Every structure is written in structure tokens, then in C-alpha cells.
Structure 1
Amino acid sequence: MKKIYIVLISMVLFSCGNEKKILLPEIENAKITEVLDVSPAYLFYDETKADSVELNRKNLISTTNWLVNVDKRLKLSQAIPKIQIMQDKKRNAELHKNENAKNYYTCNDTSIKNLGFLEFTEVYYKIQKLKTKPIPKLELRVEDYLKNPSITSKMPVLKIYIQEDGNTYLNGELLDIENALSKITTIREAINAKGFILILWFDKNLSFQDYIHVKSQLTAADSNYITIDQNEFIY
């Protein structure tokens, strides 16, 4: 019988005498701290494999909530293709389908010294093979909105490019994620906009830990004025 042991910063599995360990990504003040009716999947960091990742999803049941446990050391280029496989399995299920079943990333919530969860059910990952990385340009000019108040009735769209080091390009300016959120608030107040739609672009070499940090910060932001586009781009 398989036994799963959960500790503060890692998950250790003992199966058929083999020990495998996952270092869970860390977050603070997770909005979700309990999920019921679950089945797990695991993405291990494995240096012995060509792509350094091993996926174990044999215990997934399509009608349950899925807890996806990803080692924080993995890069997005390693983890996301495996996650897409799992997403497609549930979305394409014809029999025994549960429309209410959701998908969550399992994290270590350091603020409570226990597990926290980050939902990603409606996220659609898009892998973009670009010859060169996109160069962020100034996409939203505050003065243009002030000159034409009629367009403030529409929700502006901003793209955020998250680099390999975790810093972001927002509207042509290099910021960390916390300052980027502050900048969005400043722009919104300046143009009297109802809110923003954010389109997220992530560097494929970003660690899963940094990815989860950005996502958790955006989730904690005021949802009354920030709408995250369901499509997330990996470049």
C-alpha cells in the first residue's frame, strides 16, 4: 500500500520501497487551505532523465478534484507540457465527467506552516516558439485615455512579461511583481478605468517556484479591478 507523507516544505512518497521527494513551491496566505474529494499527481525533479522531470499521474480520477504536486525546482519548459497532458485528459473525458471538479497546485503555505492550494482549472497554457523574446513596448498611454474619456468605458488590456529572474515588464517598464501591481493601481486611478485585463507571458526558463509566487501575488490582488486572461503564454 502506498503511503504519502507531507512535511512542511516537501512531500516524500514511499512506493514499492523507492523513495521520491518533491520540494513544494512556497506561498504565503493562500486563499484555499482545504480541498476535499481529491486525487493526486506528481511531477518529480529527476536529474537522471533527459528533461529532468518525471510525471506520475496513475492515481488521477477524472471525477475528483486534482491536486497537482510540482517540484519547485522544475522550469516551466519542463513542467508545463506535462501539465497540459493532464488538463487535456480531464477536459476531453467523455465518460464519468464531473463539471464541478477543479484542478489545484499544492503549495507550502509558510504563513500557516501547512498546505495551501492555488486553483488553475480554467488556465489554458499556450507555448510560443519565438525566434527572439518579445520586446515589451509601451502599450497603454495614460495621456491617450485622458484625451479621449469615451474609451475608459472599455476595460484596458495589459501584457505582463515575467522574465527568467522573476522580474516583470509592465507597459514597457521593468518592475518586480509587487511594484507592477502597484503600478496597475496607479494607472487605473489616473485614467479612471473600471479595471484591467492582464495577459501573462512567462519565460520558459522561469522556475516553478517563481511562477507560483507571481500567480499567488496576482490572486491576492483586488479582483474587482484585475481580470487575469485564461490564456497564459510560455515563451
Structure 2
Amino acid sequence: MKKLIYLFVFTLILSCNNERVLQLPEIENAEITEVLDVSPVYIFYDETQPDSTLFNRKNLIGTTNWLVNVDKRLTLRQAIPHIQYLQNKRKKESMHKNEAAKNYFTCNDTSIKNLGFLEFTDVNFDTSEIEKEGKDFLISSTSELDEQIYSNDIFIKFNFNIDASNINTFVNDILSILNLKEASSEIEKSISARELLFNLYFDKNLSFQDYISIKSKLTKDIMSSVKFNKTEFIY
């Protein structure tokens, strides 16, 4: 088994005598801090490239867990196409397929000064145009969420106004509305019975750092209690 350990916020890659720096997104108190049997993928921030990205997948092994290292300075618009490529490649793998293999984003966990990982194996990224009628249901504030909480589908939009600096406040407001901060088993059963479905919409101009901050917070505080659509929309 192969195990990768990084001790710094950045990853250094030496290739053709050129040194490249990849700044990993930062998180705190990651639920996953070790992944075995892995192969790495790198999505660099490189201003010399047409889309400012450099995609390095030459060390990819189909039967392993994939550690996707994305530079935190990239936007979703820049990073998602490469991530979609990897997901499609995983789905199309036919020979020597490992059904247990998973995909992870590699992060710098500042609480332990080592790596943390965020799994995204089952996440589908939809970059198609959002239909006009769908936009009417997008919400970007908890006051709008409060009005829609009694429907079965909840649409949450994360844009430039919701980022790493204020995601804690936004998520705590959602928790309060859902009564999940001090949720009893009866409350959780009630929410489960109603089959609430959260749909996430992310502004394509969000930085990858902001995306990871949002997903990390949602994963720890909300996703274990309510159902989220496995498809995430990038608009």
C-alpha cells in the first residue's frame, strides 16, 4: 500500500528541473486524516496557461484511492472541468476496477498541521445552464430559507457574498431554523420523515478555498442530519 504524507500547506512537484508550488485549501478538524493505497492528481494554478490551470494526472492508478490536489487560488470555473474529467474517467474504468476506491480532495488541516481529506466520490457537478424557473427558487439568505423550510425541496445558493469568512454564521442560521443545534432524536426523525432535500448551487467564481470551507462546514454540521442532493450545481 502506498501512503502519502505532506507536512506543509503547499505541495512541491519537481518536473523537468522546474519547481511548482500548489497551495492546498485549508480546513480545520477534518473527519478524515489518513487515506491508504492512493495515487495523486494535481491541478496547479499557472498564469502562463490559457485557463490559468495546469493538470497533472500522469501518476494516476485506476484501482487506488485518488487524492485530488487543487490549488486553493483557482475558481470553480477553472477547477471543475478537470475534476469532472477525473470523475468520468473513474466511471469508465472497466479493467481491474476497484469498487471500493474513492475520490478525495486533499486539504491542509491547520488544527493538526498535517493533511485532512474531504471525500467527493458520489458528488456530481452539474455545470449546465440553470433554467429560469429554477433560479426563482434559489435562496442566498436564511430569511428566504425560513419561508421555504416547509417545502420538501430547499435550494441554497452560495455566491460571492457567502464565503469562508461568513459561512459559519450562515450555517448556524440554517441549523437554528432546522432546530438541529440541539436536535433530539424525535426532531431528527421528523426531519427524516419529511424527506427534506437540500440542493446546493455554487457561484462559478467562488475560489476553491471558499468551496472547501463551505463543504467542510456543511459536512460536519448539517449533512449528517438532513439529505443533500448528490448533484451540486455550478452556475
CA distance in 1, matches of 2:234, 2:223: 23
TM-score, length of structure 2 as denominator length: 0.82
Distance (Å, rounded) in 1 between the aligned partners of 2:20 and 2:160: 27
Q: How far is 1:112 from its partner? A: 0.3
Residue 162 of structure 1: which of 158, 162, 181 is its match?
A: 158
Number of the residue aligned with 2:91: 91
Q: How far apart, CA to CA, are the structure 2 residues paired with 1:85 and 1:166?
A: 27
SS in 2 for 1:159: strand
Q: Which amino acid aligns with 1:79?
A: A
> What amino acid is the match of 1:141?
E
* Inter-CA distance 40–56: structure 2 relative to 1 (3 Å threshold): same
> Is 1:106 aligned to 2:106, yes or no?
yes
2:51 maps to 51
**1:194 pairs with one of 191, 197, 204:** 191
User: Does the alignment pair 1:180 with 2:170?
Assistant: yes
Identity of paired residues, percent? 49
Q: Is the 8 A contact 1:11 1:24 kept in 2?
A: yes
Q: How far is the alpha carbon of 1:15 from its aligned partner?
A: 2.1
1:223: how far off? 4.0
**Structure with higher strand content:** 1
Deviations 1:145-189 (A, max 9, x none): 5xxxxx8xxxx3211111124349xxxxxx942233223333323
Distance 1:23 1:167 in 2: 18
- CA distance in structure 2 between the aligned counterparts of 1:84 and 1:13, rounded to whole angstroms: 23
In the superposition, the TM-score normalised over structure 1's length comes to: 0.82
Evaluate the alpha carbon distance shift between residue 5 and residue 16 of structure 1 in structure 2; reply closer, same or farther with a 3 A threshold.
Answer: farther
Flag structure 1 segments of 5+ consecutive residues without an equivalent: 146-150, 169-174
Structure 1 counterpart of 2:158, which letter?
A: I
Structure 2 gap ranges (5+) = 181-186
What's the Cα RMSD here? Answer: 2.7
SS in 1 for 2:179: helix
In structure 2, what is the Cα distance between the partners aligned to 1:51 and 1:166? 24
- Measured after TM superposition, the shift of residue 44 of structure 1 is 0.4
Q: Work out whether residues 153 and 197 of structure 2, in 8 Å CA contact, stay in contact via their aligned partners in 1.
A: yes
Aligned partner of 2:162: which letter? G
